[in-house]
Structure 1
């Protein structure tokens, strides 16, 4: 199982000091967090994609290329690549280049995005979000697998005998996760292609997550990719830890209360009770994370959000130390002991190359 962190790259005032980091500080902090993730033994760093304030990661492959040059084994991913507003041809090219330069340590998570204003900036209409996601991915899938592509669809100019360059490393495209919070069409898309399904798992209650993952697993089996238990699932989550749970709650509360995505809503206590948000001791995070398996089954990737809502970089790096030293080693051991032999490991470039040589896909 893979463990890692993801960042949405928000520039948010620290509510305890009023200080707002500059865009430069925030971008370099994200790179520092990625390098720290490898240092403490995590497997994955993922960055979001946003094109509007207060977010800064508008060019994920640039960020990941920078991190690739400063790490050796970290898997580099996106927490969202906007399949709706990016041209599939450019996605195919950019991630193939990154895949070569990073030695295969690359995958990506496709999503529609939830900011309506972004769509017209790229010549699109949010009301066409689902059709765009479905059509654009079908083209991306073909671009990485066919030497010459003839294409005609609703949302871009036709292609005639087009070859995307460079070709994927070792003939194996980057692994694709389809990320969705609420759209069953995206779970179906992931299942159809035999790709991974990533549920954000931050804002919604357990029953919603269970339904979405069960839909994906059943359709994965229906499409003939293997049993439902062999479907590739990833989860997000947010944690904040201190040795004593009461200290964690007291320290995190002002960040929660003023966060762009949380502030003004339910209380911290209610949010922790009704969603997977875990604020407390390392042992509480371990127990809560292990409980996810009870309603999604055995899964392959767990990513934690640790740098949202104005938390200072120093605090984020402390959180990574706790994850690496106290939490993830226990989670690795416990998840491994409980995983049945027929459930696959997380897909990596090396495993997929080996599988391809054995006649797999």
Structure 2
């Protein structure tokens, strides 16, 4: 039997086409004349659907995956990508083989349970072709605003106190998201995020505790009727 051609025996690279949605203009003067171009709904609409054309073409070429980013408040028209999950969910309905993902969710500015839920739903829409990416956040304008409830500051990995806190929050969040995907129930007594909340007493007075105790995940409700653990649903595909 003749050996297979070398190109068939070689490991194929995992090519990811990562799209940065930038609103086009005819040079800097035109860009400035149309300020704030980031609010140009018709132009954004065109770029958004043009990105879909690109990922469809990438899918036909056989790339491993396509992805987008997370950035907010770009009135200048650069990196308009506030909702990576929404984009991924739509792309999943348009592609046949390529995986979809975001590189990545800035988790210090987000609730880890919500991220785990959202990504799990997208994974189902993509029929298991979703991949997850996480980032720490380096753009001060929006990271400091959206991260205010955790006191997350943008960082350039400079070793400062803000950088160390950002890293600590990032690592805690990622561990919690992974736990949501891999464990039937979770309880988080983190430095920055706790669940159930309040953690010390659990959630008392939950009206549906009897139903949850009978039909929910084992261990969610304690003997006193308090919510002590939570089951993050759905599970990934």
RMSD value, Cα: 2.0
| Structure 2 residue aligned with 1:132 | 169
1:119 Cα deviation from its structure 2 partner: 2.7
- Does 1:95 pair with 2:114? no
- Cα distance in 1 for partners of 2:19, 2:192 equals 30
1:121 Cα deviation from its structure 2 partner: 2.3
1:33 Cα deviation from its structure 2 partner: 1.3
Unmatched 5+ stretches in structure 1: 170-361
| Structure 2 residue aligned with 1:152 | 189
Flag the structure with larger Rg: 2
Q: Measured at CA, do residues 16 and 120 of structure 1 come closer, stay the same or move farther in structure 2, by a change above 3 Å?
A: closer
Alignment of 1:235-274 (within 5 A): none
- Cα distance in 2 for partners of 1:155, 1:88 equals 11
1:12 Cα deviation from its structure 2 partner: 4.5
| Structure 2 residue aligned with 1:44 | 65
- Cα distance in 1 for partners of 2:116, 2:25 equals 36
- Cα distance in 1 for partners of 2:57, 2:45 equals 18
1:92 Cα deviation from its structure 2 partner: 0.5
1:17 Cα deviation from its structure 2 partner: 9.4
Unmatched 5+ stretches in structure 2: 1-12, 32-36, 154-161, 197-227
1:168 Cα deviation from its structure 2 partner: 1.5
Q: Is the 8 A contact 1:8 1:49 kept in 2?
A: no
Q: Is the 8 A contact 1:8 1:48 kept in 2?
A: yes
- Does 1:32 pair with 2:41? no
Give aligned pairs, total: 169
Q: Is the 8 A contact 1:7 1:46 kept in 2?
A: yes
- Cα distance in 2 for partners of 1:71, 1:77 equals 12
- Cα distance in 1 for partners of 2:65, 2:112 equals 24
- Cα distance in 1 for partners of 2:129, 2:29 equals 38
Give the one of 68, 77, 86 matched to 2:92: 68
| Structure 1 residue aligned with 2:15 | 3
Structure 1 runs of 4+ aligned residues shifted over 3 Å read: 16-21
- Cα distance in 2 for partners of 1:161, 1:48 equals 32
Larger strand percent: 1
Q: Secondary structure at the match of 2:95?
A: coil
Q: Secondary structure at the match of 1:84?
A: helix
Q: Is the 8 A contact 1:92 1:144 kept in 2?
A: yes
Q: Secondary structure at the match of 1:161?
A: coil
- Cα distance in 2 for partners of 1:10, 1:87 equals 27
- Cα distance in 2 for partners of 1:27, 1:108 equals 21
| Structure 2 residue aligned with 1:347 | none
- Cα distance in 1 for partners of 2:22, 2:92 equals 22
| Structure 1 residue aligned with 2:229 | 161
